[in-house]
Amino acid sequence: MFIGQFVAASLIFRVTLFCVAQAPGAGTVAHGIQSQIAGTWRGHSECARKNSPCHDEVNVYRFSEIAGKPGWFSGVGSKIVDGKEIVMGTLEWNYDAEKHSLENENSGGTFRLIVYTAKMDGSLTLPDKTVYRRIHLERQN
């Protein structure tokens, strides 16, 4: 009987440990998702405000982890014009494991991307809380 109780307790411990490791926000899961963010993402963005200087674009984002800053990424954003990639700038993005989101807040507004396994969807919101651009990206590598 004692061996059966030991096996049952051991099994419960292993299942509990597995569930905790898989919980949203758990370190192992967050690290796995963070390593999935690094790489090239391609897609498009469309203007949410019509009659503005905004133009719909084909985009390329290249994310890399920032050494010594867990949860932070450098993101180089480009647009494709006449088949050529034009770099628009580089921003630092913070990853929130609970919300599964990458975010950059700067004087021009807030970029927020929700991270799925092979795609990201999000927006650029201006300081006055107006959604200016919607962004849709898919993992390339």
Query: How many Å separate Cα 132 from the centre of its chain?
Result: 19
User: Is the CATH code 3.90.1150.10 the one for domain 2-139?
Assistant: no
Query: How many Å separate Cα 137 from the centre of its chain?
Result: 10
pLDDT in tens, 34-82: 678 999 999 999 999 988 999 999 999 999 999 999 999 999 999 999 9
Tokens describing residue 88: 């628009």
Find tokens 């994310």 and name the residue: 63
- The pLDDT score that the predictor gives to residue 32 is 67
Q: Are 89 and 100 in contact (CB under 8 A)?
A: no
Q: Is 23 helix (H, G, I), strand (E, B) or coil?
A: coil
DSSP 8-class letter at 83: T
Domain boundaries, the chain: 2-139
